[in-house]
Chain A
Amino acid sequence: MSHHIVEAKNLEFSYPDATRALLGISFKIRHGESVAIVGANGAGKSTLLLHLNGYLTPTSGQVRIGDFPLTKETLQEVRRTVGMVFQDPDDQLFMSTVYDDVAFGPLNLGLPLEEVQARVQKALETVEVLDLKDRPSHRLSAGQKRRVAIATVLSMSPDILVMDEPSAGLDPRARRQLIELLKSFKHSKIIATHDLDMVLDICERTIIVNEGKIEADGPTADIFQNEKLLVDCHLEKPLRLQSCPLCSH
């Protein structure tokens, strides 16, 4: 087992319409690390995430997940290892009931039925929505949908969780609960987000992507103190690190 669980080597990618989305991105992520990927709209965050489970194939460069380079042959194994939670839970929850949705991945992996049931049970317990098991997905609240969406990948026992804007569209309490939930996970996490306050809570490391390149990569605490860097990349200091508007301390 290699020391690094996700490795991107000089990734470049252009969309068919010749939009150059990634211009040579390299990073290594260790086991158990939580990494935030932040950047402006259109900086290439989502494109980058789609490379991590092989949905997009880089124009040049390579992705390694665990011990495998990402190729056609390793695709299924990589997709089991990398649990991808998409931004809109309505895209992720395509089956008609919560139970079927969470069982979808394990069934595709060809697991025996008892194992599938045990995994569904466990995944739903982990995100604390076991009581929603038989509900149709379209009748859930945004917070519930988000939790179920996470359960759908947990049931495949991934080593890495990749999430696109997990806190988007949640009310403050649902967001707080989600943060606590994500903190309790032992997986390696890669989170693309604009919610920098959440990054402070969850991720010890931050990668700033700007115009298809890595602008900065380092400990979250250091990066969020560098105001010039943040402003240059269309970001701003997390609210918690800004002075209080009422007493200006």
Chain B
Amino acid sequence: MSSRLETAYYDLGRLDLLAEKDSPIHRLDPRAKVAATLVFIIYVVSFSRYEIARLLPFFLFPALMIGIADLPFGYLLRKLILVSPFVIFIGVFNPFLDREIMFQVGTFEVSGGWLSFISILLRFILTVGAALLLIATTGFPAICMALEKLGLPEILTVQLLMLYRYLFVLIEESIRIMRAYTLRSFSGKKPRYQVFKQLLGNLLLRTIDRAQRIHMAMLSRAFTGEIKTARQFSFGTPEIFYLAGCITLFTFIRFVNISALIGKLLLEAG
């Protein structure tokens, strides 16, 4: 268990490392990237539920991002697979519930359920993938600040920022507790409920102590209840080009049936 925790910890750290890279995408103002990702997600989910073919051209965007920002495809894919069980659960019953035959490929009959299941999977890959790419090119803190500048209430963004900052401290603390437990429990089994309860209680107490010390540190720096940041973003020409480019591309893909066009071209050529 502890080792799984440690893997998760280093994995999260890796996402931070990616965000520290330097590429044309990384250098953009976070607001532009957040806005582009939002538009992308809205377009992707706006199709009818049986749509598959028209979703495919949207993969152009993540492909471009990975290429330009030089991100490790395998790592991002693994992250996606990690979350995928949730989505698979949502869609997996569709083929049983919706048995209406939509079309036939040879003797194989494709039901509406299968179509919607695949459509859900594609949408999941596209939307979660886009969010992951956003984090990997921007970094979580910068996204929060961008969201605040875009109008999200400060109380939410501050909570998110603090959550992210102390997630690492909390995980480290849990890892230490689990290590101490593992080293003195020779069975190698997971902690029994009784023990686990105490470990959890211990973690809670440490967290409360920590919170108190953090508050102390805030007060000694003249904290009066409002968290302020001095970060300034610059929304310049590159951002305008990026955002305009993205929106044009997405709108084009959304409203022009590229798959059908390509199919038609191929048929005519053949």
Contacts and interface: CB of A to CB of B under 8 A. Distances in A.
B232 to A, nearest CB: 8
Interface size class of B (residues with CB under 8 A): 20 to 34
Given A86-B213, A92-B217, A138 B168 contact: yes
Contacts of B218: 94, 104
A108 B141 contact: no
Contact of B222 (A55, A86, A120, A156): A156
Interface string B142-183: 001000000000000000011011101100000000000000
B171 to A, nearest CB: 10
A96 B141 contact: yes
Given A107-B229, A107-B230, A94 B219 contact: no
A193 interface: no
B140 A105 contact: no
Contacts of A152: 221
Interface stretch (A22-30, A76-84, A223-231): A76-84
A139 B15 CA distance: 12
A90 B169 contact: yes
A33 interface: no
B221 A96 contact: no
Interface in B189-245: 210, 213-214, 216-224, 227-232
Contact of B221 (A90, A108, A116): A108
A131 B222 CA distance: 26
Query: Could you say which of B222, B223, B231 has the most chain A C-beta atoms within 10 Å of its C-beta?
Result: B222
Query: Could you say which of A76, A91, A153 has the most chain B C-beta atoms within 10 Å of its C-beta?
Result: A91
A181 B131 CA distance: 43
B70 interface: no
Contacts of A135: 20
B230 A136 contact: no
| Chain A residues touching B, majority SS | helix
Contact of A80 (B165, B214, B222): B222
Contacts of A104: 218, 221, 223, 227-228
Given A113-B230, A153-B221, A94 B165 contact: yes
B139 interface: yes
Contact of B169 (A50, A83, A105, A138): A138
Contacts of A113: 230, 232
Contacts of B169: 90, 138
Contacts of B140: 96
A144 interface: no
Contacts of B51: none
Query: Could you say which of A55, A80, A138 has the most chain B C-beta atoms within 10 Å of its C-beta?
Result: A138
Contact of A91 (B16, B210, B232): B210
Contacts of B223: 104, 108
Contact of A107 (B20, B165, B228): B228
B72 interface: no
B213 A55 contact: no
B170 to A, nearest CB: 11
Contacts of B232: 113
A229 to B, nearest CB: 32
B231 A99 contact: yes
A157 interface: no
A219 to B, nearest CB: 30
Given A137-B165, A138-B169, A139-B16, A116 B220 contact: no
6 contacts: A91-B213, A100-B231, A113-B230, A135-B20, A139-B13, A156-B221
| Nearest 6 interchain pairs by C-beta | A96-B141, A105-B221, A108-B222, A107-B228, A138-B168, A91-B213
